[in-house]
Amino acid sequence: MTPREKILQLRGNSPLILPSLLLCDFGDLQSEIALLEKAGVRALHLDVMDGMFVPNMTYGMPIVEGLSRHTSMPLDVHLMIEDPSRYVEQFAAAGSDLITVHVEACSDLKGTLEQIRDLGVASGVALNPDTPLETILPHLELCDLVLCMSVNAGFGGQSFNPVAIEKLNQLVQIREQQRLEFILEVDGGVNVDTIQDCYDAGATWFVAGSSIFRQPCYQLAVSDLTAAATG
Ligand code: DX5
Ligand code: ZN
């Protein structure tokens, strides 16, 4: 099975909670992964930041590669880096199953999405709260996933910006009109108070950082989020 097929297999899962590996214990990733697997998590969200596209820096290919050796869970890799096409091949080789790039960071969005698909990896496009939806509309048929940011990319622990809800509503309509099948994911400030509005607006994949890693029990955090989504 190709990485893309692995992601497409999970497409119908809703709500799917994806822990964002930004606030976890990087000194003991193996235990963190084991705890998440025990909590019923089915896929991981990896936040890659370059200190250029966003002011913060995190990690790159070696962490993706290390994780891919320790878990069979699909890896949803969120690239918050300038001109991501430079690194797409290396992130694919490191074991990414889904690579999401920011429209604001791409000089050639179409080419970058094609490059990801050609590598057998699922393709995603992300847009920040202030970025108009129109910027991605011409390329939706090349997207397996659209990521509506509900905070400005860069840091965990920010509060939810409801502009993502409007975008999700519009994207649901566009997806229906154009008979497309991209997954709708939301990222930033997702917690038990904000998740239901996202779910009602059509998101099915939910990235969660603080609402998992700042809780004492991951299993409870994941089940609370899942229950809160559907009300
Ligand atoms: C922000 C990242 C998010 C973030 C989510 O730039 O893309 O994945 O870690 O963290 P919370 O859930 O704490 O907002
Ligand atoms: Zn993210």
CATH number of the domain to which 135 belongs: 3.20.20.70
Range of the domain at 135: 3-230
Number of domains in the chain: 1
**For residue 98, what pLDDT is reported?**
99
**For residue 180, what pLDDT is reported?**
98
For residue 78, which atom of ligand 1 is closest to its CA? 7
pTM of this structure: 0.98
Residue nearest ligand 1's atom 9 by CA: 156
Compute, in degrees rounded to 10, the torsion defined by CA atoms 36, 68, 210, 227. Answer: -50
Which H/E stretch holds residue 197? Answer: helix 195-200
Mean pLDDT by 10 residues, the chain (231 residues): 97 97 93 97 98 98 97 98 98 98 98 98 98 98 98 97 98 98 98 98 98 97 98 92
Is 1 in contact with 183 (CB distance < 8 Å)? no
Catalytic site includes residue 187: yes
Q: Which two tokens stand for residue 122?
A: 């699922």
- Sheet containing 16-19, strands listed edge to edge, beginning at the edge strand earlier in sequence: 16-19, 205-208, 183-187, 145-149, 122-127, 98-102, 75-80, 44-49
**For residue 159, what pLDDT is reported?**
98
Q: How many CB atoms lie within 10 A of CB 84?
A: 25
Catalytic site includes residue 193: no
Ligand 1 pocket test, pick from 24, 26, 46, 47 with the greatest ligand atom count within 8 Å of Cβ, gives 47
Identity (one letter) of the amino acid at 56?
N
**For residue 55, what pLDDT is reported?**
98
Identify which of 21, 8, 103, 24 has the alpha carbon closest to the alpha carbon of residue 64: 21
Q: Is the CB of 209 under 6 A from ligand 1?
A: yes
CA distance 6 to 212: 24
